[in-house]
Chain A
Amino acid sequence: MRFRRKLLLVFALTVFVCVAAVAWITSALARRAFEKADEQRTAALVAQFRREFDRRGEDVGRRVEAVAQGEAATRMALSLSHGPPDYAAYLDAAKILAESQQLDFLEFVEGDGTILSSAQWPARFGYKESFPVTTAPGVSFLHQEPLPDSTALSLIAVRRVAAGDSPLYVMGGRKLDKDFFASLEPPAGMKALFYQNLGPSFTPQFLITPTGAAQHWELLAPIVQQVQQRGNETTSLIHWSSSAADDEVIDAIPLAGADRQVLGILLVANSRRAYVELEQQIRSAAIASAAAGVVLAILLSGWIASRVTRPVEQLAHAAREIAAGHWNSKVNITSTDELGDLARSFDGMTRELLEQRERLVQTERVAAWRELARRLAHELKNPLFPLQLTVENLVRARQGSPQQFDEIFREGSSTLLAEIANLKAIVSRFSEFSKMPQPRFQPVQLNELVQDSVRLFQSQLSAPGRPPIACRLEVDRGLQPIAVDPELLHRALSNLILNAIEAMPKGGTLTLRTRHEGDRVVLEVSDTGSGLKPEERERLFSPYFTTKQHGTGLGLAIVQSVVSDHGGRITVRSNAGEGTTFAIELPRNGDQLQRAEAAQTTSGS
């Protein structure tokens, strides 16, 4: 990953993390504040409910007390003292009194629990009241009132009629219905619901809800059941719809009757709409800030990156230039920071390298001249010694008989001519090396060139008096023409074939292979000779290095020069005793090929 991208990533990540952290902290603080406000509002509503509950209870108590102290109740109590009750006389009594006192429920109950008269269930006379009236508390309480076809939750008060010998109780109350809760005025965003716990499982019909509110009340089932099972206050979040703004936090507060059984559950719902909207605003602001931050990060990172990476890129460019051999490349950085120091160091390093290279070249040049001189001395010394001996023989023979002189002269002159020819050949080879021409590219079928070269050495391969050398061609028939100078390449290949023949004095196999590797063509020449030592391999392509008794050491140097001029390279694989393989890799030189083909076409036309 490039430095510019890294920098951008770091900047963007930093901005994002910071914004996210701020948004999260703000949201958390807002949530905590809302939760605290919700708790306070819930507590206030519950307190309001309890006040209303107590007020209604007192009202019910007063009305029941009025009935108990009334004439009808007194007469009823007195008549009980005189014998068994006449139910017919009291059938409508409770109903009439209930209507007059605006009570939903009213019953006259004997001390043993027998119902004398019931307003809500007139047919129940003579039956026993399930609630033990004698142990009823003095204040109003929640009560589950059985009705002919249902059960209703009510706020009940019980009073004893203070007349007669037989105890008579008045049990009256009001139904907890919508009207009861209509007086509750919850603040905006809140509502109060009341669940009448009249059955073991959740039943939506038992829920007293605010007018006009139609929701999926069955979602309240889990929280109601939780309160039914545990009997203590519970809080839960209800998702009324897919929109989080419709969510409500429900506080479920159990309300028990006189026997501590949970008869009702007050459900206080706090809307999370305000919180969700605030959270959405925070999130929107965070997203906007993050987006702006990222844009800023891009700009900032771009600016910083341009300040930081441009010198680095200049350095990299300069390094590539130097690697390409342009030793005069310099880094133009004028800053005084670390990058400036680095650039100046780089320039200093380049200058030092250039000076060292110059010194190395001079050293190598001197070494080459010394090697040349050594080789020349060595090459020239060999023919000079016979020349000296021949001349000395001739001088000595001049002192002898003319016949002997003539004979020695003939022998000497032929020797002199041979050695002089040898000297000329040596000089000629050195001259050739110094005059290596630039290649003239033309399209060449490498396989044909190989076959032509081998054909020239056919006589040497099977020369009489020496062990035969087998020649094997493994050519790639699919090779396309390449652009090379055929004469130079022929000379190089001939050198390699000649070396291979000379490396196999005891005979062997000469193998020539051609193949293509991608856009390059490979030519290999292998022998089965004694191979090369590692130190020989290292110096093999150095000019004037030879492993032969009478070699000039220029053959492989010429080969390398030719291959290099064609843009290729030569490598050698060899181990002692296992033969040697020279591999020449040549590019197809597509552009040269096109030019050569164009030139041929032009000359042809």
Chain B
Amino acid sequence: MLAAATAATRPHYAGTLHVQMASTVGSLDPADDAQRDTLAARNLFALIFDTLVALNDRGQPRPALAISWQAESGNQRWQFVLRPGVTFSDGTAMTPEVVAASLRRANPGWKVTARETSVIIQLDLPSFDLPGELALPQNSIVALPAGKVLGTGPFVVSQWDPGKKLVMAARDDYWGARPFLDSVEIEMGKNFREQTISYELGQSQVIEIPADQVHHANEARQVRASEPIELVALLFAREAQSPEEIKQRQILALSIDRDLLNRVVLQGGGEPAGGMLPDWLSGYAFLFPVKSDLTRAQQLRAQVPQAPLWNLGYDGSDPLERVLAERIVLNASDAGLRLQLAITNLADVRLVRLRLASLDAPVALSELGRSMGLPAPRFLGNSIDDLYHAENAMVQSQRVIPLLHLRTAWAVSKSVRDWEDSRDGAWRLPDVWLAPGKP
């Protein structure tokens, strides 16, 4: 009896973790631009690949494949000393040449040179946050022998059906110690109903909870939610062409009741957003107004003689996006704007959901801008004021109307032990182990 109790509380090496999620990943190459940057992709990449630098929950860099680094020439030349003894999943050693080649592949604009035990990165412009940037998944270190994409991560791919299923086995020679799990099996493209059934039947231990179901799921399951980490925003296809169009965009921003969207449509699964970054990350998000002001919107509307019909595009496969888009159309109609739903990327304005790429706020803001096709934010320094001004400039450009920040949540079975919650919803599977017995 004592032995059984000990076995239930002490980590042990065994078992397969079954995960189901709605998201799909079509490529296991972190540098593949065609792969959408989703939490699912990021979590999968983190199991197979490592980056030179990792970020802790506060967004501060910590060593990973690089054990130390230093900046020279006013943050324009960086040297990263590599961790010794690291091997790729095929057993080959991670050398500075392979690392340099991997970084050059992901960042063609960089000048990366290999030294004996380190790599030198020479930038065209100074960068305060290069370590944070190197923590991004696309900067994972990969080896490309014979067309294969190999990583140094804790797991190695044993079965891959793009967009449907991924099976990974634990690496015994992982530099950060072998994971407790023997393998991880991930099924993708499952809707919430399918996931729920599988979870209830004990066929999977981890499932993805949509933001609008967090409230309901929390009542019945062990839900592990992140901080609001996903930005929901309206993104205009082009710059405003006239003062009237700027006003129309302001009218639209004022007409949307973000609070109702969050409380009713998202069931409290997020936060109203007036800025690009969530408050927990930037600390100043409250400075961006989120309250709807229909009266002001109607006053502005009276100043615009004619408002054209805008097509509001959204992802037709996402039921949450549809309801959000429908509500936005209704709110806009109250202010006298005409929006028409359209499942197309050629819309005048699109409802987009963008994952914050990093816990490093400037990097996250830059990545958001890049994902939206907006001009790169200009940081005059690395202070919070500089960050605010850069973000405010982005919001005031009227290309984007931030609406909500959503949480990411997972229902985790009780048989899964040492599941560590992260602020950004990232998995820490190497530390996870499964309680013995039936899942």
Contact = CB atoms under 8 A, between A and B. Distances in A.
A123 B260 CA distance: 10
A122 B323 contact: yes
A124 B330 contact: yes
B368 to A, nearest CB: 26
B267 A88 contact: yes
- What are the 10 A-B residue pairs with the smallest beta carbon separation, nearest first? A123-B326, A123-B327, A88-B264, A87-B264, A148-B326, A149-B341, A123-B323, A122-B323, A88-B263, A91-B264
Interface in B246-266: 260, 263-265
A127 B330 CA distance: 9
* Secondary structure call for the B interface: helix
A507 interface: no
Contacts of B341: 148-149
Given A148-B341, A149-B340, A126 B267 contact: no
Nearest to A125: B264
B121 interface: no
Contacts of A126: 260
Nearest to B216: A92
B137 interface: no
Contacts of B326: 121-124, 148
A148 B265 contact: no
A130 B329 CA distance: 17
Interface residues of B, number: 16
Nearest to B212: A91
Interface in B319-344: 323-327, 329-330, 340-341
A521 to B, nearest CB: 103
Contact of A91 (B265, B329, B330): B265
21 contacts: A87-B260, A87-B263, A87-B264, A88-B215, A88-B263, A88-B264, A88-B267, A88-B268, A122-B323, A123-B265, A123-B324, A123-B325, A123-B327, A123-B329, A125-B264, A127-B330, A148-B326, A148-B329, A148-B341, A149-B340, A149-B341
A123 B340 contact: no
Interface string A107-129: 00000000000000111111100
A123 B351 CA distance: 15
Nearest to B342: A149
Interface in A445-482: none
Nearest to B262: A88
B330 A123 contact: yes
Q: Which bracket fits the contact residues of A?
A: 10 to 19
Contacts of B330: 123-124, 127
Contacts of B329: 123, 148
Contacts of B260: 87, 126
Nearest to A87: B264
Contacts of A122: 265, 323, 326
Contacts of B324: 123
A540 B215 CA distance: 146
Contacts of B323: 122-123
A87 B268 CA distance: 12
A39 to B, nearest CB: 45
A89 to B, nearest CB: 9
Contacts of B268: 88
A126 B333 CA distance: 14
Contacts of B264: 87-88, 91, 125
Interface string A147-165: 0110000000000000000
Interface in B169-223: 215
Interface in A78-99: 87-88, 91
A122 B261 CA distance: 12
Nearest to B327: A123
B330 to A, nearest CB: 6
Nearest to A118: B326
A181 to B, nearest CB: 28
Interface string B343-378: 000000000000000000000000000000000000
Contacts of B265: 91, 122-123
Nearest to A147: B326
Contacts of A127: 330
Interface string B298-328: 0000000000000000000000000111110
A532 to B, nearest CB: 112
Given A91-B267, A123-B327, A148-B329, 5 more contacts: A88-B267, A121-B326, A122-B265, A122-B323, A123-B324
Contacts of A148: 326, 329, 341
Contacts of B327: 123
A149 B316 CA distance: 13
Nearest to B215: A88
Contacts of A149: 340-341
- Among B215, B260, B327, chain A packs the most CB atoms within 10 A around the CB of B327
